[in-house]
Amino acid sequence: MRLGAVADPAIGTGRPRRALTERNRAERRLAWMLCAPAVAVMALVAIYPIVYAIYLSFQRYDLRFPGDKSWIGIDNYTTILSSTDLWWQAFGVTVLITVVSVAIELALGMAVAIVMHRAIFGRGVIRTSVLVPYGIVTVAAAFSWQYAWTPGTGYLAGLLSSTAAPLTHQWQAIPIIILAEVWKTTPFMALLLLAGLSLVPEELLRAAKVDGATAWQRFWRVMVPVMKPAILVALLFRTLDAFRIFDNIYILTQGSQNTRSVSILDYDQLFTALNLGVGSAMSVLIFLATALIAFGYIKGFGAAAPGQEVNR
Amino acid sequence: MALAALALATAAGCGSGQSSSGPVTLNWYIFPEFSGAFVKSAAACSQGSNGAYEIKIQTLPNAADGQRQQMVRRLAADDSSLDILGLDVTWTPEFAEAGWITPWPDDVAKRVENDTLRSMVDTATWKGRLYSAPFNTNTQLLWYRKDLVPNPPTTWKQMISMAEDLAKQGKPHYIEIQGAQYEGYTVWFNTLVSSAGGQIVSDDGQRVTLDQSAVQALDTIHELANSTAADPSIGNQMEDQTRLQFEAGRAAFELNYPYVYPSAKADVPDIFKNMAWTVYPTVKEGVPTHVTIGGIDLAVGAFSKHKQQAFDAIQCLRSPQNEIQNAVLGGLPPVLESVYSDPKFQKAYPMWKAIFTTLKQASVRPKTPAYQSVSLQISYTLSPPSSVSAKKLGTLRSRIEDAINSKGLVP
């Protein structure tokens, strides 16, 4: 804020930058000093592991065969990318879970956000109670879903048939995983969308109503365009989260019957097979995939956000 | 601030708080044992050491995978607080090859090998050296219903045809076996291959040795899984599901560990009345069956600061008295052959004869540092059991080949 305020007049008046240098430099120095501890901690806990993972990904490094450690270039990557029955299978499952769960969460989250926004009585109670699933530890929630869908211990397994064990079939387990995800994170989506809803000016909606817009038109033509930045941010957050899904699957199926996500598959390479080389390469690929998702959204976001048109 | 907190947490996590005088603390990482037998023997051994050491039990997670992961993570970081490690019988080659456990000195190794079941010594040995000391063992028996099956079968063929006959008569007939995609399925496959006279991987863990005997094993799985003798949910059955099906009165046969016997006694007296046991059926007529051995071996951590005391403590923990106590209180079959003739043990284990016979000719799962990957490939390739046929042999061979060379991904 402060730095921006100082910099602007310099540009506006076209005066040489040197004029403000004394103060500018001091503030810059202060800013760097204030940031330095955070940057150092980030470097230690984030950048170092990332660089180390990239370094490991080019090695044959299996903890079980420490003598065979060697530099093997991109072999780990070709191994992974040529594995159709494991990597691409897990990738497909992950994409399916991501797309379906985020789409459902967006629709449901919007509905919940509108309810929260329009609620006249007990706003606090409604907003709090909607957030309960999001507040529950994912693993604890996943265990209760697991018990519910296990014949003998659960009330949901019996709904299908008396001997059904839905978590042991791929095409029944995946919808259950999606359901658990949706149940858990719709409140988060709703909360982000609620923030967006409060940006929509009431006068705009009233004006539209006077002009004869139907409820659907007011929603689709007025609210959604104004909310677009908030929707995109919510989608970005949730897509990145959903793509890295681990805990729900780990508890519900342990990745059996081809319900693995890429994170589960990576975990198996690293912690069961102790193959640090292949595991790190897979981590890097997952990192690239999430980076690609983020990049795609931000590109799309930049092009579509109304606020940014001005800057072009 | 954050760094200080991190450093503090690390120090608290790894410090063993040793004082220079007095008994050294030996951390014993072992699976949770609920009868209290281990607590008792740890206390007795500490007492008997005359102040040399104090054994402190560090309980590992329930599941074997969790136990292994926890120890591996610590060992990969050269943790010196791991003195005594309770290893599953399949882990010794892996831990030894990675340099995480200490080989036993030759003179003590001889003492350990003496009187210990041969197959268990085999699981504890890697590249000709003893790396761990067998602690307890286990194996499967054939459990059947006397009221349905007057004469128990001796071969798989007989058992399947008996079950099919019972099915035709509309009587309980399932053969309960572990066919889910997990370690128990690998155990079944290993038993079948060994009983057909084969071996999955060579003794040095370098080559896949599946041959004609594997075809026989695959045929047996195929035959069972595609007959009326199989439980329809064979593809999801683990030890406990098979136990429950037998207790529910739906099965005539069950291949499982001896714990099912006291369990049936407590849960279903009616079924228990007719519950009998015999040795595991054979694959080939006249060739004795070689059932896969299970159990725990105790090893000394490579980074331990008290190796001598740890070797002493392990020998105490597996003394005949403690082995009997583990069997009587905890239901863990001993590894010392002499204990099997002890009347106290025989009383606690009415099926001791069948167990002893089975253990004397038991088979060992593939010995390779990459065992986890080998096992995952086997259970993954052969799932579900109904899809198994001799045609899978080629795929199976190449996947196990990749696994022992740590190539490719693990399922």
Q: pLDDT tens digit string along B273-326?
A: 999 999 999 998 888 899 999 999 999 999 999 999 999 999 999 999 999 999
Does residue B102 fall inside a structural domain? yes
Q: Pick from B3, B72, B181: which is nearest to A274 by CB?
A: B72
**Contact state of A66 with B181 under an 8 Å Cβ cutoff:** no
Residues on chain B bordering chain A, Cβ-to-Cβ distance under 8 angstroms: 2-3, 65, 69, 72-73, 76, 94, 97-99, 181, 232-233, 235-236, 369-370, 372-373, 376, 406-411
Can you give the pLDDT at residue B189? 96
- Chain B hits for A86, Cβ within 8 Å: 409, 411
Tell me the mean pLDDT in the region A233-250: 92
**Contact state of A273 with B406 under an 8 Å Cβ cutoff:** yes
Mean pLDDT across chain A, nearest whole number? Answer: 85
Look at residue A56 and give its three-state secondary structure: helix
Same domain, B132 and B148: no
**Contact state of B97 with A63 under an 8 Å Cβ cutoff:** no
Domain assignment of residue B213, given as a range: 141-291+370-404
Amino acid at B391: K
Same domain, B100 and B148: no
Nearest-CA distance from A293 to chain B in Å? 25
Same domain, B155 and B263: yes
Can you give the pLDDT at residue B233? 81
Same domain, B253 and B396: yes
Can you give the pLDDT at residue A152? 67
Looking at residue A84, what DSSP letter applies? I
CB B390 within 8 A of CB B219: yes
Can you give the pLDDT at residue A18? 54
Can you give the pLDDT at residue A149? 84
Does residue B4 fall inside a structural domain? no
Same domain, B162 and B130: no
Looking at residue A121, what DSSP letter applies? S
pLDDT band at A311 (very low <50, low <70, confident <90, very high): very low
Same domain, B198 and B310: no
pLDDT top residue among A64 and A304 = A64
Same domain, B184 and B287: yes
Q: pLDDT tens digit string along B258-267?
A: 889 888 988 9
Question: Is A266 part of the contact surface with chain B (CB cutoff 8 Å)?
Answer: no
Does residue B321 fall inside a structural domain? yes
- Chain B hits for A80, Cβ within 8 Å: 409
Tokens of A266: 């990576």
Nearest-CA distance from A64 to chain B in Å? 5
Amino acid at B37: A
User: Would you say residue B171 has pLDDT above 80?
Assistant: yes
Same domain, B307 and B278: no
Does residue B409 fall inside a structural domain? no
Can you give the pLDDT at residue B362? 95
How many structural domains are present in chain B?
2
Does residue B3 fall inside a structural domain? no
Look at residue A71 and give its three-state secondary structure: strand
Same domain, B395 and B303: no
Q: Pick from A64, A86, A271: which is nearest to B97 by CB?
A: A64
Does residue B198 fall inside a structural domain? yes
User: Would you say residue A308 has pLDDT above 50?
Assistant: no
Does residue B5 fall inside a structural domain? no
CATH number, residue B316: 3.40.190.10
pLDDT band at A65 (very low <50, low <70, confident <90, very high): confident
Interface confidence (ipTM) of the complex: 0.79
Same domain, B234 and B346: no
Look at residue A293 and give its three-state secondary structure: helix
Does residue B12 fall inside a structural domain? no
The pLDDT > 90 percentage for chain A reads 47
> How far, rounded to the nearest angstrom, does the alpha carbon of residue B322 sit from its chain's CA centroid?
20
d(CA B174, CA B251): 4
Per-residue H/E/C for chain B: CHHHHHHHHHHHHHCCCCCCCCCEEEEEEECCCCCCHHHHHHHHHHHHCCCCEEEEEEECCCCHHHHHHHHHHHHHCCCCCCCEEEEECCCHHHHHHCCCEECCCHHHHHHHHCCECHHHHHHHEECCEECCEEEEEECCEEEEECCCCCCCCCEHHHHHHHHHHHHHCCCCCEEECCCCCCHHHHHHHHHHHHHCCCCCECCCCCCECCCHHHHHHHHHHHHHHCCCCECCCHHHCCHHHHHHHHHCCCEEEEEECCCHHHHHHHHCHHHHHCEEEECCCECCCCCCCCCECEEEEEEEECCCCCHHHHHHHHHHHCCHHHHHHHHHHHCCCCCEHHHHHCHHHHHHCCCHHHHHHHHHCCECCCCCCCHHHHHHHHHHHCCCHHHCCHHHHHHHHHHHHHHHCCCCCCC
Same domain, B284 and B298: no
Q: pLDDT tens digit string along B342-359?
A: 898 898 888 999 999 999
Same domain, B226 and B286: yes
Q: pLDDT tens digit string along A143-181?
A: 999 888 877 677 787 777 655 677 777 888 899 999 999
| Beta-carbon pairs below 8 A across chains A and B | 69
